[in-house]
Amino acid sequence: MVEARFAADRTAQLDETDALAGYRELFVRSADVVSYLDGNSLGRPLIASADRLRDFALEEWGGRLIRGWDEGWLELPFAVGDELARVALGAASGQTFVGDSTTVLLYKLARAAVTARPGRQELVVDTDNFPTDRYVIEGIAAETGCTIRWIESDVRGGVSAQQVAAAVGGDTALVLLSNVAYRSGFLADVATTTELVHRAGALVLWDLCHSVGVVPTELDAWGVDLAVGCSYKYLNGGPGSPAFAYVRSSLQDELRQPIQGWLGSRQPFEMGPGYEPADGIRRFTSGTPPIVGMLAMRDMIALLGTVGVESIRQKSVALTEHAVALADELLVPLGVELASPRTVGMRGGHVSIDHPDFRQVVERLWRRGVVPDFRAPRGIRLGLSPLSTSFAELRLGVEAIREELLAL
């Protein structure tokens, strides 16, 4: 078709001029996957991470055994957190640590924030936030007797600063929002929204799961109170790799997190009779650090520092723009609808498209080595990792979606 030929020509030009193309060689690739479009859900491993994991098992774990705790493992959550903060979060040291899952960290910080605003009985969250975020808030509301004010969010857009301004007030304790919406890819205005929440005297907790490593972030400059994000998407930490948490330095002494584990205490190895929180960011930790789970993300954080998140964002914008153009040319005539913002500045690193037959289409795509992901009830997300995804890989995937729709 004419449209396909035009798209192919444009794709080749984009790959030829891609300044980050050489980095694709650093990632492990599977021979049976011809188009991987789910990097916003699970990133490919770096070859260096495979080597690091093997060496760790043989040398550090196998060689040093329990001595490794005294030789750096105990400090790894804070060392990795500080490096992530420096290269990807726009945050000074001493405010970020790695450990626990996203769910646990959301609970810790949200629960601590509610306790720090006594007398305020309202929690604000949007109706299309990721399920974990909503469920955690519902659980905290049940524990504390708070009520939830739901912001009705557009499933093809997101939460605007104006909606937040209308929702917060003197009874608001906490607002929980996502920087990039998991379904639509909508990119929130963090700075403006955070300021609006602060004017109401409330705290704000940002979920960075779909933005860290692909969208430039300035937590300190934006005045963010709290943030949580996972490491297995654009940070390529691997399945179930630990999440990270950011707590603004001026809040650390004020907040008391609810999961009082031994390593978050002031003198953990004294094994004392009562809990006294440690100083600084350490007080937000609980149990034994997930050392193996932090290994792979260290390599990706280092790569982010080399390339720079601004350069990654430029490639991400080019990929999502091309995804929209390909969808318009090849899929919209077949009844597919764009389910992400068209405006570049309102879109993160993935593009969503809708069609009533997409559940069946994704099953067929996976069998032929084309791997996007399905989001009920009728969505496909095209997750585009800038350092590991080529424009040709994207085009191949979109053309495969077209072929499977035509074959139904």
pLDDT number for residue 7: 60
Q: Are residues 258 and 326 in the same domain?
A: no
- Residue 247 to residue 109: CA distance in whole angstroms: 8
130 flagged as catalytic: yes
- Let me know if 232 is a catalytic residue: yes
Q: Does residue 64 carry a catalytic annotation? A: no
Name the catalytic one among 111, 347, 381, 395: 381
Do 323 and 263 lie in one domain? The reply is: no
Judge contact between 178 and 190, C-beta under 8 A.
no
What pLDDT does residue 23 have?
98
Residue % of the chain over a pLDDT of 70: 98
User: pLDDT per residue over 147-206, tens digit each?
Assistant: 999 999 999 999 999 999 999 999 999 999 999 999 999 999 999 999 999 999 999 999
Neighbouring-strand partners of residue 246: 96, 227
Burial class of residue 68 (count of CB atoms within 10 Å of its CB; 0-12, 13-18, 19+): middle
CB 339 within 8 A of CB 347: no
**CATH number of the domain that 129 lies in?**
3.40.640.10
Q: Residue 95's domain spans which residues?
A: 72-305
Percent of the chain with pLDDT over 90: 97
pLDDT tier for residue 3 given thresholds of 50, 70 and 90: very low
Q: Which of 126, 189, 207, 225 is catalytic?
A: 207
Read off the pLDDT of residues 37-65 as tens digits, 9 standing for 90 and up.
999 999 999 999 999 999 999 999 999 99
- Chosen domain end from 279, 305, 331: 305
Q: Catalytic one among 18, 52, 55, 130?
A: 130
- Per-residue pLDDT tens for 121-139? 999 999 999 999 999 999 9
Same domain, 154 and 286: yes
Marked catalytic residue, from 120, 183, 233, 395: 233
pLDDT at residue 9, rounded to an integer: 76
- Residue 111 makes CB contacts below 8 A (sequence gap 6+) with 140, 143, 257, 258
Q: How many whole angstroms separate alpha carbon 220 and alpha carbon 12? A: 40
* 7 and 40 share one domain: yes
Q: What is the pLDDT of residues 371-387, one digit of tens each?
A: 999 999 999 999 999 99
Does the active-site annotation cover 284? Answer: no
Catalytic residue among 182, 232, 374, 391: 232
The answer to whether residues 96 and 235 belong to one domain is yes
CA 130 to chain centre: 11
